[in-house]
Chains A and B, each alone.
Chain A
Amino acid sequence: MTTALTRRRFLIGAGIVGGALVVGYAFSGNGENTARQRFQKAGPEGGVALNGWVRIDPDGRIAVALPRAEMGQGVSTSLPMLLAEELEADWRMVGFEQAPRDPLYVNREILVDGVPFVPWDDGVAAETMRWAYEKSASLLGLQATGGSTSVRDGYYAMRQAGAAAREMLRRAAAARWNVPLSSCIAENGTIRSGKKSARYGELAAEAAAIALPEPPRLKDPAQWRLLGHSPARLDIPAKVTGKARYGIDIRLPGMVFAAFRPVPVFGAEIAGLDDSAARAMPGVKKILAVPGGIAAVATTTWQAQQAVDAVEFTLSGGAEDLSSETLLETFSATAARWDGHVFREEGDIGTALAGGRKIRAEYRVPFLAHACMEPMNCTAWIHDGQLEIWAPNQSADLAAMVAGGIADIDNDKITVHTPYLGGGFGRRADMDYVEIAVTLAHAMPGTPVQVTYSREADMRHDRFRPAAVSLFEASIDEQGQPLGLRNSIAGPSVVKSFVGRLLPGPFITPDKTTAEGAFDKPYEFPALQVMHETVDTPVPCGFWRSVGHSYNAFFFESFMDEIAHAAGRDPLAFRLSLLKNFPRHRALLEKLADGWNAPKAPGTGRGIALHDSFGSIVAQMVELYRPDEQAPIRIAKITVAVDCGYALHPQTVIRQMESGVIFALSAALHGEITIADGQIEQENFPDYEMIRMADAPPIEVHILNSGARLGGIGEPGTPPLAPALANALFDLTGRRIRRMPFGDVFGYA
């Protein structure tokens, strides 16, 4: 990363914390220390918040405000670690509490990845746009979890907060003992000076009154005790005893339960309904039209499910002729026109493709559902002029915005609680479940209402990973050197669909996510052109773990393999030859080279893929085994090499790589949402199958700490798997896979 960018980030972080610990600096506008006060009030009597991020409780426990949702990615441990490192806290005393909504906790990083520039472009235009996007994120006030940004975003702010608190404690000790500040050492939850020592809890009240004259200095990473290690996750004990509370587990006095049945045809409206049978069912309290369908409210979820299924309705309008097969044909024809938005153009592609040997291929992927294990749900309660929401969500601010509009309640009278998320994967950035719960709570003021989607509703009322088609043309010379490559992608835009549903105003700029993972590949082709044409469809599309990378990596890295084989080159060596200026990428491939070049036993095949996303680079090798031609093909092993700059909690990096691989493997082998007559054809796990224990291959992860700017880790493990797997299949069988899913090749139905 550039020095300018580092310094700017540092200054923003310092401004927040160093500004006399008056948080909300430049963002809240009123200069009030609201987050700090709120965090203090949320704790026990006698607890002292030293800023909006950290509170020291009377029993000596350190409570860290968690600004992001814990959805499995481990932020409830890694973010407190950042703070505890600088605070010199006793890690055994550190815990976390979900932060309330406050401008302090805005995610500044989340829009930065959205700029349509290649990640290594640090020119003025790219940097200006990144700065503008970061600024917008601050001003928009998006307290959001996604885009693999949580640790990147917290990296400065949370360390600064810990350092500021540490300095306040040191100054408090120096004043109390009347000793020089320089003699006061912070270590393991204690300040010492000579023979004097005091625990943080004893100094907290005095420290709270201290205003720091300057931003605190951060530790030299060489002095880190916690970061770079893998302490046990703070959320795990509650997750093995059934005590962890997910959104679906919220229980309130007098609460009623609701079920949701979506309108089955995209864009259709309910013309008439007969709910007489449903209303007569035991326990049923209400049947109501809600955004996207109808809902039934009853004494238990099961009764509500029975009732909502008993409602009879007729539909009008809607895209009743829509089929995914036709849509894919439309995308294919669109891609073949070669007139989409050009995201990247280098060299003279026309001339390059006029000579040499031509290679051409078309790739396709289907729509996908998220299928979080915890179905979408939300609890809402309107009482005393206030609205309280418990929503497993990826953006508390969007939840409040949507809820306020429906219940006509001011934003400052809305409290959003974010319990544990039973999976997110981008699905919970959408707010349909909040709309439904608040609509019901609004109709039943004073009564807490919890709506839980059935698995069928969850699958059919998803915001889908878009289907897409990608067309490639490349040419190689007689020596097998590539002359040029052009790529035309077509399909829906996630951001356009999302903004259209949730945010005011039209979406006008090209959606970078449609072409990410294609236009920003590092390979040094003499000529390169990448374009994407957005095709609007009635199918709502949403963020799905790694977004555009989830399909463009499959397209691009499979086609790279095709070029290598057409040129008679080794796929790994071929990639290396096109990465002369990319030492981090080369290092990852070289890490896999020993395994790649090892002698191959009969009946085995290997495939490789390399992909950048969310600031990190991942290379994967898949090894397949088939004892004889009649036997099913098995995945023997998957090897991952990852460079995310620096692994702050190495076990979490490893687990996220494994998680990304299994998630991608489910999609590669089984994932397919199809549409016929305007309706989603899948509805539950038997027809939208997942990888299970017996199919989960061994995964080996290697971390390369390059020291480059921090990258994300929640998503980058996902994109390279499908192409590495498809390339391995080609190696083993000679059959080129150009469509997902391809579980049939492995003998799955």
Chain B
Amino acid sequence: MIEIIVNGKRHSLDASPDMPLLWALRDILSLTGTKFGCGIGACGACTVHVDGAAVRSCSFTLDEARGRQITTIEGLQQNGRLHPLQAAWIAEQVPQCGYCQSGMIMASAALLADNPAADDNAIDKNITNICRCGTYGHIRKAIHRAAREMS
């Protein structure tokens, strides 16, 4: 059995330690907000937080996740209130198909936690996820908006 803590809740999983965290979240815990995009850490759709840092969960094994604090998009809200980034995403009307946006928001949340005044260069450097709908310009605006809200 492997113990992981997801969104503050402890789970004991009967799974291979080699299984990527992504598939444990999606197929065992049915936390489907974290998306599968490429399986090799190249697109960022599966981004979650592990001890606060952005991690591509398709390339992070259960063994590595053992005992660590994992946050998914479902756990980003605090006390039923949207995270400022989620609110900014709505205010800026960012998503189109929306499939990549969980990963985008998680990557952005980790960035702002680390660098609350992230400028365009920091955004370019840290937000390397793929959006096929091309919402990048609005993601950038939403990150700046959330940063203002949080400061």
Contact = CB atoms under 8 A, between A and B. Distances in A.
Interface of A: 71-74, 232-233, 235-237, 239-246, 248-249, 251, 257, 282, 299-303, 305, 371-375, 420-425, 452, 454-456, 651, 655, 658-663, 665-666, 684-686, 690-694, 696, 698-699
5 contacts: A235-B95, A240-B82, A240-B101, A373-B37, A455-B37
Nearest to B83: A240
Contacts of B127: 693
Nearest to A452: B36
A300 B27 contact: yes
Nearest to B95: A239
Given A236-B93, A242-B72, A302-B23, A684 B38 contact: yes
Nearest to B136: A696
Interface string B3-45: 0000000000001100110011011101111111111101101
Contact of A232 (B90, B128, B140): B90
Contacts of B26: 249, 301
Contact of A659 (B35, B124, B134): B134
Interface of B: 15-16, 19-20, 23-24, 26-28, 30-40, 42-43, 45, 72-74, 76-77, 82, 86, 89-90, 93-102, 105, 123-125, 127-140
B73 A420 contact: no
B27 A662 contact: no
Contacts of A245: 32
A71 B97 contact: yes
A684 B42 contact: yes
Contacts of B86: 240-241
B23 to A, nearest CB: 4
B99 A246 contact: yes
Contacts of B23: 300-302
B97 A693 contact: no
Nearest to B126: A693
A145 B50 CA distance: 39
Nearest to A237: B90
A685 B42 contact: yes
Nearest to A657: B134
Contacts of B97: 71-72, 372-374, 420-424
Given A421-B97, A651-B93, A658-B134, A692 B39 contact: no
Contact of B36 (A303, A375, A685): A375
A240 B88 CA distance: 10
A208 B34 CA distance: 43
A303 B27 CA distance: 10
A655 B96 contact: yes
Top 8 nearest A-B pairs (CB, nearest first) are: A242-B33, A662-B134, A422-B99, A72-B97, A239-B98, A72-B96, A242-B73, A249-B32
Contact of A373 (B72, B131, B140): B131
A496 to B, nearest CB: 27
Nearest to A250: B32
B38 A455 contact: yes
B118 to A, nearest CB: 12
A455 B39 CA distance: 7
Given A242-B74, A300-B27, A692 B136 contact: yes
Contact of B130 (A299, A421, A425, A690): A690
Contacts of A374: 35, 37, 97, 99
Contacts of A424: 97
- Chain B contact residues: over half helix, strand or loop, or mixed? loop
Contacts of B73: 241-242
Contacts of A685: 38, 40, 42-43, 130
A694 B42 contact: no
A373 B42 contact: no
A251 B138 CA distance: 31
Given A241-B82, A375-B37, 20 more contacts: A71-B97, A236-B90, A236-B95, A240-B95, A242-B72, A248-B35, A300-B15, A301-B23, A372-B97, A373-B99, A373-B100, A423-B97, A658-B134, A663-B132, A665-B134, A690-B130, A692-B128, A693-B127, A693-B129, A699-B137
Kindly name the residue among B24, B95, B97 whose own CB sees the greatest number of chain A CB atoms within 10 A.
B97
Nearest to B30: A251
Contact of A455 (B40, B135, B139, B140): B40
Given A239-B98, A300-B23, A421-B97, A661 B134 contact: yes
Contact of A301 (B27, B30, B99, B133): B27
Contacts of A425: 132
A665 B95 CA distance: 19
Nearest to A248: B36
A685 B129 CA distance: 11
A740 B94 CA distance: 30
A301 B74 CA distance: 21
Nearest to A374: B99
B33 A373 contact: no
Nearest to B131: A373
A423 B128 contact: no
A693 B36 contact: no
Nearest to B88: A240
A73 B32 contact: no
A233 to B, nearest CB: 6
Contacts of B33: 241-243
Contacts of A698: 137
B136 A235 contact: no
B72 to A, nearest CB: 7
A372 B36 CA distance: 11
A433 to B, nearest CB: 14
Contacts of A692: 128-130, 136
A542 to B, nearest CB: 16
A240 B90 contact: yes
Given A236-B93, A300-B27, A375-B37, A422 B130 contact: no
B99 A423 contact: yes
Nearest to A696: B136
B130 A373 contact: yes
Contacts of A686: 40, 42
Contacts of B137: 658, 696, 698-699
Contacts of B96: 72-74, 655, 659
A422 B124 contact: no
A5 to B, nearest CB: 31
Kindly name the residue among A239, A257, A425, A696 whose own CB sees the greatest number of chain B CB atoms within 10 A.
A239
A301 B58 CA distance: 12
A651 to B, nearest CB: 7
A645 to B, nearest CB: 22
A715 B132 CA distance: 14
Nearest to A373: B99
Contact of A251 (B32, B76, B100, B102): B32
Kindly name the residue among B43, B98, B101, B136 whose own CB sees the greatest number of chain A CB atoms within 10 A.
B98
Contact of A372 (B24, B27, B125, B132): B132
Contacts of A232: 90, 93
A539 B96 CA distance: 31
Contacts of A305: 39
Contacts of A240: 82, 86, 89-90, 94-95, 101, 105
Contacts of B30: 251
Contacts of A257: 27
Kindly name the residue among B43, B93, B99, B105 whose own CB sees the greatest number of chain A CB atoms within 10 A.
B99
A373 B43 contact: yes
Nearest to A454: B39
Contacts of B32: 242, 245, 248-249, 251
B137 to A, nearest CB: 6
Contact of B133 (A72, A244, A248, A452): A72
Kindly name the residue among B36, B37, B100, B129 whose own CB sees the greatest number of chain A CB atoms within 10 A.
B36
